[in-house]
Amino acid sequence: MPSYFLGLDSSTQSLSSILLDLDTGEILDDRALNFDEILPHYGTTNGVLRHSDPTVVHSSPLMWADALDLLFQQMKHAGLPLGDIKAISGSGQQHGSVYMTSLAEKQIREMDIHGTLADNLARVLSRPTGPVWMDSSTSSECDEIRESLGGREGAVKATGSDVTERFTGPQIRKFSIEEPGAYKQTGHIALVSSLGSSLIAGQISPIDPGDGAGMNLMDIDALTWHSGALEATASDLRTKLPPIAASHSILGVVNPYLVMKYGLNPAAKAVVWSGDNPCSLIGTGLVKPGMTAISLGTSDTLFGAMSACKTDPRGEGHVFGSPAGGYMSLICFKNGSLAREKVKDTYGLDWDQFSASIRDTPVGNQGALMLPWFDPEIVPKVLTPGVRRQNLDAEDAPANCRAVVEAQMMSMRLHSEWMGEKPQCIYATGGASANQEILQIMADVFAAPVFRQETANGAALGAALRAAHAFKLDADGNADWEEIVSPFTKPVESSKVDPNADAAALYEEKRKEYAAFESAQLSV
Ligand code: ADP
Ligand code: XUL
């Protein structure tokens, strides 16, 4: 039987998948379904539901479930060998939460195959929509939980992160305070990732330490629920959460629903899902400490593997469990792709014209600076959105295109200093990693070469590689991470973007101007 493994990525704007052949080192299929396009009746924009309050951002679990059915349908119609898949795992946008009644366990175990996954899920939701990572409406809940955990330092030591607006714990607290009746009706709380693995496995799934660390509820040393954090967050919370289980856990065979509807092998294994950043860590081949990757997805994230748990004293960065063991560091910038898109759309450009604008403007942008806080920003924390400009005319389209990317790269460099040494090279992934001009500014600002891989979908690739690793570990009693990831994560040699020495020197100076502008605006 061939060694086919499937990775799914339920991310902010799309559900995507990668089917790989472990024996030949080939990616057999790489596809994505965009939520706004294929499921317009859920009313999302860029995959999310906005509110009049810009800090409130939700999405619909039913939309994610519907997308799973549509993706399997599409793969079946494309004639992919679904019956030969040995194991499936997945990746989910981090922090988002799904609220179900205590009937969820039975409903998911005994699915009605005459309905869809969403029909089954709809019967047990106790909250129709749930907050996602873009939601920053929980500052007062964060303050309360932080105080109980002994302030920022105590929170970072206990959970790997300061108590953070988008993290699941503060979001659960807000729900329990604002809707106590619905909270009481809630018997099970899932993350986007554990909802995905529950539907694929046909049973309530545990949460892995990669995604569990994004909740402010997990003890970052012991990788178990943190009693003090649970108590500080909401009543009876322990009873509503599934267990935490290692990222390589096999839950069992796949849901009979998928066997009957799409012809999956009844013996195919369902592997626990993880967060999109922990999966991207694997999908960019960062199974050992010392390498850095930047994902340019809806959010821009900078991450790397760590052998020991080193936390950020300023509380901007996070530590998550790495699916390869040990830990990973992560910094997340909310104004990533959507900020670049906003600039592109404001001037009526397509991506080629956006790139041409960057090529046509000088490195350093003649002193122009932008703080692209179109949405409330995570790093640095900005709750009231608004774009700030210095020496930059809002009417000057090319200069604004360059300004948004220069600002994002300088901000990433500045706010990642706590991680230690400057990266020697950077692996880029995510939708915008297809853009050469963006990667050139990245290389120049970090004064380091940037590499790209065959697929920009590092999260789905990482999920497929995690499925392969878990399967092999279970079957053979051992599985070597480097052996599994290297055929798929070797950078495309021709993709190398070298830094330009003059540009790097200029950005060394400009970064100081950027830091001063940012700091002045933060104190306004
Ligand atoms: P996510 O996984 O968070 O849903 P993706 O990694 O799929 O996001 O990235 C989607 C984003 O990629 C889009 O919002 C778009 O702005 C960006 N993108 C796609 N092509 C380009 C391009 N050529 N240049 C810059 N950005 C691009
Ligand atoms: C990470 C974060 C985002 C989401 C969506 O902390 O909030 O990167 O995982 O991609």
CA angle 91/95/98 to nearest 5° reads 85
Q: How far is the CA of 501 from the centre of ligand 2 (A)?
A: 32
Residues in CB range of 350: below 8 A, 6 or more apart: 344
pLDDT at 343: 98
Ligand nearest to the CA of 47: 1
Q: Tell me which residues have their CB closer than 6 angstroms to ligand 1.
A: 11-14, 297-298, 337, 340-341, 351, 430-432, 434-435
Mutate-to-test residue for ligand 2 from 15, 91, 93, 328, highest number of ligand atoms within 8 A of CB = 93
Does 340 contact ligand 2 (Cβ within 6 A)? Answer: no
Domains 4-279 and 285-454+493-524 share a fold: yes
The pairs formed by 146-151 with CB atoms below 8 angstroms and a separation of 24 or more are 148/228, 148/231, 148/232, 149/228, 149/229, 149/232
In order of 67, 215, 411, 444, 508, the CA distances from 505 in angstroms are 47, 39, 16, 8, 5
Q: How far is the CA of 300 from the centre of ligand 2 (A)?
A: 8
Give the integer Cα–Cα distance in Å for 90 and 479.
19
Ligand nearest to the CA of 9: 1
| E strand or H helix that includes residue 28 | strand 26-34
The pTM of the full predicted model, rounded to 2 decimals, is 0.97
pLDDT at 234: 98
For residue 23, the Cα-to-chain-centroid distance in whole angstroms is 28
Return the CATH number of 285-454+493-524, one of 3.30.420.40, 3.40.50.1580, 3.40.640.10, 1.10.3720.10. Answer: 3.30.420.40
The structural domains of the chain, with segments of one domain joined by +, span 4-279, 285-454+493-524
**Architecture of the 4-279 domain:** 2-Layer Sandwich (3.30)
For residue 518, the Cα-to-chain-centroid distance in whole angstroms is 25
For residue 318, the ligand 2 atom closest to its alpha carbon is 6
**Taking Cα atoms as reference points, which of 109, 102, 94 lies closest to residue 125?**
102
Residues in CB range of 222: below 8 A, 6 or more apart: none
Task: Compute mean pLDDT per 10 residues along the chain, 524 residues long, and list them.
Answer: 96 98 97 98 98 97 98 98 98 98 98 98 98 98 98 97 98 98 98 98 98 98 98 98 98 98 98 98 94 95 92 92 96 97 98 98 98 97 96 98 98 92 92 97 98 94 98 98 96 94 98 98 92
Mutate-to-test residue for ligand 2 from 332, 335, 338, highest number of ligand atoms within 8 A of CB = 332
